[in-house]
Each structure stands twice: as structure tokens, then as C-alpha cells.
Structure 1
Amino acid sequence: MIPPTISSLVARAADHPSLREHLSLDEREQVAFASFGDVRLQSAYQPIFDVSMSGMQTLWSSPEQADRFGDELGFQALTERVDGEGFDPFDTVTDDRELVALDRLARTLHAVNFFGAQRHGLLFLRVHERLLKSVKYDHGQHFSSVLVGFGLNPARVIIELPSAAVAHRTFLGYLANSYQRYGFKVAGNLPNAGHILSVSDMARLDFIKIDGGAVLRDAMAKPLIAYANRLGIPLIFDRVATEAQFDALAQFGARFVQGPLFEPRKAYALR
């Protein structure tokens, strides 16, 4: 089977009424972009590294060359304006239905640029709490149908749930089961280390994410890693910003890390 290209995926988007007027191809750069009102949006990707690879032992001495080391578990998709600034639709859109439409557009944009460029690994896509409340049932159904229609595999997409959802065990279980039923994997952001106790068979997550700096400040890295290992769920330390943080997490046995330390252009933001 011939892998899809970005241009072929953008062409397929013309068959979707909600996409055809918004998703386009930048002929010069050969990347997809999305138009939302007078704003032009593009995709950016932050790598998530597996620091258990031997090459990553030298990462602290040359973080700007992070893409040369180790293996990448996958990439976190970030939504930017074409000028490189972060774009937060929750600051600009008040209507929930419009917000859901924009979120679906952004997810499709990131999937097109990710799969069409034949990136390896997993694609992590964040979901905002407000969106979870706006869609009442069958979370993941619409996006799964779009991906399958494009010939793309939902199993390579990680839906990343916000900390507010993870804090409620019953709601977390419902969301995880719904997204997994439609072929996705699910990650949950922990508000703090103690909320790992919310993760159970009721909410069987595929990944757990937490702020690495906060964990180190609270001196919870070692017990958190141990508990995640007992659960058998991979733990990703997010927002790793300094070499000292990276060093400390590695010494405690952290395996997966991401954050501004690994972005040469320092474009990381809350996106």
C-alpha cells in the first residue's frame, strides 16, 4: 500500500463538508494549513523521547541536537498561527458548537501533516475540558470516522485527556472506554502525583502524563515511577525545561520525557 501524502490527504478533505472550505495545501512548503476566520493555522510537533536509549545519555550536553539521539515515542501536536505564535481557541471562541468544529478541524490538520509526512511513532492530541462537556456522547466517533475515511489508523493517535477529567474516576473511565472503543489510545494528565490513584481498571489508560518539574519539586518522582510501573502504564514527564530536571528524572528511572528542553526553537507554550 502506498503511504498517503499531505497533498493526497488534503484532496480527500474536499469530500468533507466541514473541511473542504477550511483545509488547504501550501504548494510551496507542501504542508497543510487551516483557515479559521482571518487566522491561518499550522501544525507544530514536539517530540516525546524514550530516554532509555543509550544515545540519550549524552542529550544533556547537547539538547539542541535532541533529534539525533535515542528513539521517539511520538509527537505532541501543537496548533500555531503561521507567524509561529501559539493559538488558543479558548481565548477567542465563546460558542461551544463553533469551538467543537474548530477543534475537529485542528485535529484533522495535525493528522494530515503527521501521517502525510510519514512521521513515525504516535500522534498525541490534547482535548480541552470544555470540549468534553460540549460533546455529550460517543467521544471519538467523529474523528475516528474521518481518519478511517482518509485511510489512516486511529490506533496511532493518542487522545490526551485534561487533568480535570482525570480527577473524576467515573468520568475518566467513561471517556477512556469511549475513545478506545473507536480505536484510539488514551493518555491522562495527572493534576498531581496523588491522582494516579484515580487510574484503575475502570479507566485503563494507555499512558499517564505529568508535569516533570512539579513532580521534582514535590519529591514524588521515585514513588510515582514505582506506582506507574506496578500499574503497567507508561509514564511521560511533560514540561521538562532544564538539563537539571532531565538529569534528575533520568536518575530516578524516568523513561519518557518531553518539554521545552528538547525544542531548539523554544516554541513550547500551553497549546
Structure 2
Amino acid sequence: MIPPTIPDLIARASGHPFLGEHLAMGTGVHSEYAMAEFDGIQLGSAYEPIFDISVHSLAQSLSSGPECVDQFGDELGFQAVTQRLDGEPFDLFDPFDRIADDQELVALDRMSRALHAINFFGTQRHGLLFLRVHERLLKSVKYDHGRHFSSVLVSFGLNPSRVVIELPAAAVAHKTFLGYLTRSYQRYGFKVAGNLSNAGQILSVSDTARLDFIKMDAAVALRESMVKPLVGYASRLRIPLIFNRVVDGPQFDALQQYDVRFVQGPLFNAHYHDRAA
């Protein structure tokens, strides 16, 4: 079966009652990618790589340096990031926070995830697609979390099992809610990652909330001397642990002392050029 291209997926989205109004092919330098228009702003996709640095030796990793990250790490996947196409700075969560109406928030969140999925799958990227979900959307949708997005992906001919729904730390902090969300998204074919705001939150993760991935801010974990305990606890849970927001070489070197496997952050983004517009 020939995988769908971005134009193919945009054509399929055109029949969707909401997505068809907001998604289209870009123009000019962005003409090869899908774009979304919301409240007069044109939005596009970028992708932050998540690297598996265990595939090569520590000595090679350190000698190569982060500027050669593509030579010593394999991509586990990519986290989608929303960008303004006019070049103005854009914080993913600010537009959501300015929206008072919950239904409008749900619409924007769903539109963004569909946009990123189209640009990701339509360019035949490999690995997993990590998609953030806003905390307020989790509260606005009362049940069957993941049902709508799964149906959209299936209608596009895409496989939900390659998508990782990334839950905010506020959801991870509530063990019962975390368990419900995780089971619901997994029931509709997705994988689920949970962000930790602090190392202690990992205690909320258990067999009742069987996450597929855990994510932790590298700077926070290093500052609190919690990298080794986190790696050990995640290993006992048998859940892959991703240290994100790695900003410089010293942080990267420090993480490697503790058998960290997955990393993500600005340090690697600056040297990773294969992005969607």
C-alpha cells in the first residue's frame, strides 16, 4: 500500500466538517506542507527529535558531541511543535490559555493535532509522533478520551499506534485520573506519555496507570540529584524515561553518567535540520 502524501491527507481532511475549514496546503516557501489558519494566524508544524543514545558507546557519544547527534543516536520519534508561519514567536500553550470557551479550546487542540499528524505521516517520517494535549481539554471532554482523534486518523488511513498522547504534569499528579486517561487513550490505539513536574510524581505511575513513556525536565532532575533514582525506578516499572529540555553539553554529559537512554531538547534541535515548515 502506497503511504499517503500531505496533499492526499489534506484532500481527505477537506471532507471533515471542521478540519476542512481550517487546514490547507501552505503557500510560498511553505507550499510543500499543510498549514492551519485560526483567528487570522497561519500555523505550521515543527518536530523536535527524541534520541535513543544507548545505541552507541559512551566514548563515541562524548567524542562526537551533540553537533553530531544524528551519527550516534537513533530517533525514537518526534515531538510536534506548533509554529507561526509569519516567523513571530509562538508559545504552544499561550493561545489556549487566552481562550475562555471550552469548546473553542477543544477545536483548536484537535486542529493542531490533526495538522501535525498530516505533516508527520505525509512526509513518511519514521518513529513515533508525540502530541501534547492541553490540560483544559482533558477536563472539557468528559469521557472517551481519544475516541474522536482516533476516528479522524483512521479516516485518513493513519495508524493511531504510532501516536503518543503526551499528558501534562497536572494530570499525572492525580493517580486515579491518570489511570482513567491512560486506559482510555490506549483503548483507542494510542500510546501515552506522562510529564513529571518533579521526581516525586513518578510515584503516581503504577500498574493502575500503565504509561508507555515518562518525561522529565533534565535540568530539574539534575539540580535535585534525582537522575539516578528516576532511572532506577522507571527501570523497575519497565517504562521508558525521556529526559527533555536538555539545553547544553554539560547537561548532556551529566545525564550519560546515569545510563540515560532517551534525550530531547534545544541542544539537539539546533543541529537537526530535517524539519517541516
**Alignment partner for residue 124 of structure 2, among 118, 128, 135?**
118
Percent identity of paired positions between Structure 1 and Structure 2: 68
Alignment TM-score, normalising by the size of structure 2: 0.92
Alignment of 1:1-80 (within 5 A): 1-26=1-26, 28=28, 29-54=31-56, 57-58=60-61, 61-80=64-83
- Residue segments in structure 2 that go unaligned for 5+ positions in a row: 273-277
Alignment of 1:53-202 (within 5 A): 53-54=55-56, 57-58=60-61, 61-84=64-87, 85-88=89-92, 89-202=95-208
Offset of residue 136 of structure 1: 0.6
Offset of residue 60 of structure 1: 6.9
SS of 1:20's partner is: helix
- Residue segments in structure 1 that go unaligned for 5+ positions in a row: 267-271
Alpha-carbon distance change, 95 to 134 in structure 1, aligned in 2, over 3 angstroms: same
Offset of residue 167 of structure 1: 0.6
* C-alpha separation in 1, matches of 2:270 and 2:200: 32
* C-alpha separation in 2, matches of 1:218 and 1:46: 25
Tell me which residue corresponds to 2:237. Answer: 231
Offset of residue 137 of structure 1: 0.7
* C-alpha separation in 2, matches of 1:254 and 1:265: 20
SS of 2:54's partner is: coil
* C-alpha separation in 1, matches of 2:48 and 2:99: 25
RMSD, aligned α-carbons: 1.8
Offset of residue 61 of structure 1: 4.8
Offset of residue 66 of structure 1: 2.8
Tell me which residue corresponds to 1:269. Answer: none
* C-alpha separation in 2, matches of 1:68 and 1:42: 28
Offset of residue 59 of structure 1: 6.1
Tell me which residue corresponds to 1:245. Answer: 251
Offset of residue 27 of structure 1: 5.3
* C-alpha separation in 1, matches of 2:143 and 2:117: 23
- Greater mean alpha carbon deviation, residues 85-94 or residues 142-151: 85-94
8 A Cα contact 2:62 2:253, kept in partner: no
* C-alpha separation in 2, matches of 1:208 and 1:58: 23
Amino acid of the structure 1 residue aligned with 2:231? I
The aligned length equals 267
